[in-house]
Structure 1
């Protein structure tokens, strides 16, 4: 790979603070790093040519509406990729070694062709060169809270700067048609929504919640358990239906704000919020609801998660699950991999497949799927809105004390995920289960 670079070209991002970002402070060096960088250069050049991605230097004009990688420091860019694959690719973005006018468009292009990014012979050797998730990220009862805190306890004020007014941190469901697709339904992709039209986004988030509550059969007098409180919007809407809600979280920051919101709404007598691991819950419930929490469970605990829900539900009770998913074979191939997202955003996270969920619940529980809705393109739009709003509020994020590297990391995270959903690499499901009456 050869791109010419000019020191007077478009300004490179500020270098990361070595104390805050130690893994970014040193560029891989030595003979092995040079050799790996040479191989990475050939792979990157071939992949960009094959996928029609512009690979240019900072002083080169980028074509509009075309995926592009703008390289500021070719040597660092290739050394990081050569040393650590896709983690290195993301880290090279954090240091400013490369940039792109549209990260989401670039990732969409890459994710659409993920099976063709590297030669087949290298894919067969992936177990040799792909890093494994550290054991310290395992989601034990004691470690899960630390994993959750890494992300969700950053700052309630930070999340408020890019989420909609309901503070919902999961995919919205916009008002589109639902079409049949085999054994489930798919929500048609929504038209782009303006971030300035916050009411439409709020309605889409409430539609998502209300559909889950409907699927769970939550009505007046229902005893509802929510696993994963977020900032309390689902609990508030369930309480407004006359239900009694118990909701658990492992985030101290979310707990405190959710309690404030419940008290302000006057539902303190109907909603209880606890800092508690799902494995320690006791009781009996008519309905269980969980929104995008299973991604933090870990595959070694999926069976325990579903068995616990089965034990907590009354016969005939209903469980409504919203889960980010990935294709089954891809999940099997990558479940032990250490990724940029796991390192910087969600330690211990793993996306399940629909097949894994259905197989475990069928084999180990009395929970039976009665409905499934897929709406991955709605998540792509949700993430686009979050990212657009986040970038519009950068001055306020800085005022909270977050440094330039964090700003790049958060934008990359949101845009990276948007591209994954836009490409169909990831999906999101609402799945309804009923506990068999035996």
Structure 2
């Protein structure tokens, strides 16, 4: 059972059903998929050939190492490793890590090499035939209003206590903005507030601003906007996030200024001076990007400003992987898809009256944010276990955080802050 398949309503102990300690319900991890000897042999040759060209030291049990030297990637069970990749591609690569069939002393370094060479890992002829062999995204994970509720719940409703273990006191689950590197844990909360304040400044949020926030998180941005004197309507699809965000708003004495609603962005009503949305578009889905931007346009008053933060990927990779079902979809973010900067700007241009006024990239800051989260998660492994999350889940989460960090360190991923403006009514 995967996160995407498991019921994720936390029980009285803050534990998600399907993720309890004991025999782990992970059928695609605990059992190696059947793979013909021919397919496994062909996969083994392709994998070794790809790794041999990389600045890695890939060591296979019972065989010679390959690679040009660099971070160690140690394959403990080559037969299972090749069987999983041969039957499930990169989904199988992640599942093999979850099963403990391969590891790396410096997981981020090894994954950074792979991310930097991602377009080269699959031979060009197979790349051109991706539509024939790559798994397709499940229809039920389309980000329709019902699909979005399910997809969001599977990740964000795992357990507020789980997220609190590795996030800082602001409970902000997006890239911070640091003053310098290397980043330090005790400065993370300040760096998150700095990021939020930059977005609020971009949107010109101040006394009396009518602000719509699409994607509440756990409420920090709404709190800081309300402290400036804004009146905030914040939308989320996560029951767990809404409950804690409302609690934090009440504790801050800002309930008269902040309304946190369980509401799809497409159902938003009213007119606002500003819209802010932090790393929300990644959960929208490419087919619904026009709808998302049209909502920004429709909800903004003339002269209004929309400040967005978005994780992006190269446009050509976005096009190549648009319909592919990945390990991240299966185990972490069902229905998720990263846009390119080109896709975002073209969608806004072609479907709205919004105009791009500014874009700032800061991917290196996300790499540091993820490093701090990953280190904190590792340090608190016993606390994660105490919440009822088993060893497979902890390897899954470690891989997710390292995989994401590697994406930013390699430059394969980036993060942007955007300002879009809506022209004032000339009348």
TM over 0.5: yes
Q: 2:278 is matched with which residue: 284, 291, 299?
A: 291
**CA 1:62 to 1:332, structure 2 compared with 1: closer, same or farther past 3 Å?**
closer
CA deviations on 1:44-90 (whole Å, 9 max, x unpaired) are 21222211311224699999x93222112111011001111110100
Which residue pairs with 2:258 in the alignment? 271
Q: Which residue of 107, 116, 129 maps to 2:120?
A: 116
In structure 2, distance between residues paired with 1:87 and 1:18? 22
Q: How do residues 33-432 of structure 1 correspond to structure 2 at under 5 angstroms?
A: 34-57=37-60, 66-175=70-179, 190-195=180-185, 198=186, 200-432=187-419
- Compute the displacement of 1:30 (Å): 4.7
Moved over 3 A (4+): 16-19, 57-63
Q: What is the CA–CA distance in structure 1 between the aligned matches of 2:306 and 2:35, rounded to whole Å?
A: 54
Q: Which residue of the other structure, out of 26, 29, 34, is the alignment partner of 1:24?
A: 29
| Maintained 8 Å contact 2:300/2:422 | yes
Kindly state the Cα deviation for residue 134 of structure 1 after the two structures are TM-superposed.
0.5
CA distance in 2, matches of 1:377, 1:360: 26
Cα distance in 2, alignment partners of residues 131 and 24 from structure 1: 17
Output the CA distance in 2 between the equivalents of 1:54 and 1:145. Answer: 43
Match of 2:369, SS state, is: helix
CA distance in 2, matches of 1:76, 1:278: 43
Deviation at 1:122, TM superposition (A): 2.0
| CA-CA distance at 1:226 after TM superposition | 0.2
Contact 2:209/2:230, CA 8 A, preserved across alignment: yes
Kept in 2: contact 1:303–1:364 (CA 8 A): yes
Once the two structures are TM-superposed, the CA of residue 328 in structure 1 deviates from its matched residue by 1.1
**Count of residues paired in the alignment:** 403
Q: C-alpha offsets along residues 238-283 of structure 1, whole Å, 9 cap, x if unaligned?
A: 0010000000100000000001111111101100001000000100
Preserved contact between residue 225 and residue 247 of structure 1 (Cα < 8 Å): yes
Shift of 1:96: 0.9
SS in 1 for 2:150: helix
Cα distance between partner residues in 2 of 1:364 and 1:126: 30
* C-alpha distance in structure 1 between counterparts of 2:52 and 2:160, whole Å: 43
Whether the aligned pair in 2 keeps the contact of 1:18 and 1:24 (CA below 8 Å) is no
Please, which moves more after superposition, 36-45 or 226-235?
Answer: 36-45
Q: Matches of 1:335 and 1:103 in 2, distance apart?
A: 26
The alignment's TM-score, normalised by the length of structure 1, stands at 0.89
Partners of 2:417 and 2:35 in 1: CA distance: 49
Deviation at 1:157, TM superposition (A): 0.6
Q: Structure 1, residues 306-338: CA drift from partner, whole Å, max 9, x if none?
A: 101101100000000000011111111111000
Counterpart in the other structure of 1:185: none
State the secondary structure of the residue aligned to 1:348.
coil
Report the RMSD for the aligned CA atoms in angstroms. Answer: 1.9
The secondary structure found in structure 1 opposite 2:303 is strand
Partner SS state of residue 48, structure 1:
helix
- Paired residue secondary structure (1:360): helix
When the two structures are superposed, what TM-score results if normalisation uses the length of structure 2? 0.91
CA distance in 1, matches of 2:22, 2:60: 25
Indicate if the aligned counterparts of 1:62 and 1:68 stay in contact, CA closer than 8 A: no
Contact 1:18–1:25 (CA<8 Å) still a contact in 2? Answer: no
Contact 2:218 2:241 in 1 (8 A): yes
CA contact (8 A) 1:222 1:243 kept: yes
- Distance (Å, rounded) in 2 between the aligned partners of 1:235 and 1:29: 50
Structure 2 Cα separation of the partners of residues 57 and 297 of structure 1:
40
